[in-house]
Amino acid sequence: MPDISQKGKLMPESPIRKLVPYSEAAYKNGKKVYHLNIGQPDIKTPEIALEAISNHTINVLAYARSEGSEGYRKKLADYYKKHHIDVTHHQIIATTGGSEALLFTFGSIMDADDEVIIPEPFYANYNGFSVASGVKVVPVISKIENNFALPPIEEFEKLITSKTKAILICNPGNPTGYLYSKEEIQQLSAIVKKHNLFLIADEVYREFAYDGIEHYSILQEEGLKDNAIIIDSVSKRYSMCGARIGCLVSRNPEVIRTALKFAQARLSPPTLALIAAEAALETPQSYFDDVKTEYIKRRNLLIEGLENIEGVKVARPNGAFYCIAELPIKNSDRFAQWLLESFDVDGETIMVAPAAGFYSSEGMGLNQIRIAYVLNEKSLRKAIHILDEALKVYQD
């Protein structure tokens, strides 16, 4: 049999999706599974976006422009201006989800064996994107004890080598829900300018900032014209995960010119989804206000519930809709599988995401899980109860 590539062998499994066969088996065995494992909101997609697809007058479903339609990018630039981010449509490339935007970014600014520094835990697919691009992830560890705040800037400084090309953050963070402050962004800004690096910010959860804390984008920071690259997406903002529309935003013309070549090579983002995404930009502010209120209620319910479970330590998120919980167990992979295979409360169980997959440092996060609070309050209460009961009987 011919060998598959070394890259293929190194490509990590998704910690979010690898347990799907066990959840499917649980369903076949008659169990109800509460999904805390994946950031798929149950919030309704704005009607205006769905109507745009239903009411289209397209006769031939043709390619879109490689960078996305001019109309969409112009409206997107207007959206950013409302968030104090001054860009033009020429500085935006529409992509097939935020994932493709990050792949284009890695391909545009890094060569094989170059390095990107990322505070961990981080979105698990950053590991996969780096393997696919031949790029080395250099982690700098943030800690649950201080809510996964930005590690001391000196820790970043220690890791910078001649191979370092960028620092990548997710703000607010997946999987931690941490929201970086303006001061933390300014610290990162100073270090990338000092060492002539790129600063990449995955800002797909921009709207979900809580407790009176405002999101501060790297493109609001002065003096980062050549260094800053934003990764964005409609997936979570409008509960449109299946649309697969994201974008790459930068004021660096060379980054945009280079990324456009990658965009041309894959032809275009999906035409119908672009139509829906453009319509979604007309979503009223009241939609986001209601969604935010709902997520704050869910977060408060979840954090209070977890804090009342003996032996559980949890970081309090200020954004997105995730949190990391540390459990009184040794291995969350085994625990997550056991929940699906061998445990239930009145025929119901839960599916969680083991947190080790959100680290690249060996041995980190083994006793942690990521929880996505994307369930309604009734379901969330049941899920918390099931976790509490499971930990009372589980043995490593």
- Residue 123 vs residues 27, 96, 139, 192, 207: alpha-carbon distances, Å: 27, 18, 12, 21, 18
Q: What is the mean pLDDT of residues 16-22?
A: 86
SS3 of 360, please? coil
Tokens of 52: 């745009």
Per-chain mean pLDDT for the chain: 96
- CA torsion through residues 194, 204, 216, 364, sign: negative
Residues 139/361, Cβ–Cβ less than 8 Å: yes
On the question of pLDDT at 43 being above 80, the answer is: yes
358-393 pLDDT, tens digit per residue, is 999 999 999 999 999 999 999 999 999 999 999 999
Q: What's the farthest any 2 CA atoms get from each other in the chain?
A: 60
pLDDT band at 251 (very low <50, low <70, confident <90, very high): very high
On the question of pLDDT at 13 being above 90, the answer is: no
Q: What is the pLDDT of residue 96?
A: 98
CA angle 240, 241, 246 (to 5 degrees): 90
Identify the structural domains of the chain with CATH numbers, from first to last: 6-44+286-393 (3.90.1150.10), 47-280 (3.40.640.10)
Tokens of 104: 């284009």
- CA torsion through residues 27, 29, 32, 33, sign: negative
255-291 pLDDT, tens digit per residue, is 999 999 999 999 999 999 999 999 999 999 999 999 9
25-36 pLDDT, tens digit per residue, is 999 999 999 999
Q: What is the mean pLDDT of residues 179-184?
A: 98
First-to-last C-alpha distance (Å) of the chain: 38
On the question of pLDDT at 237 being above 90, the answer is: yes
SS3 of 148, please? coil
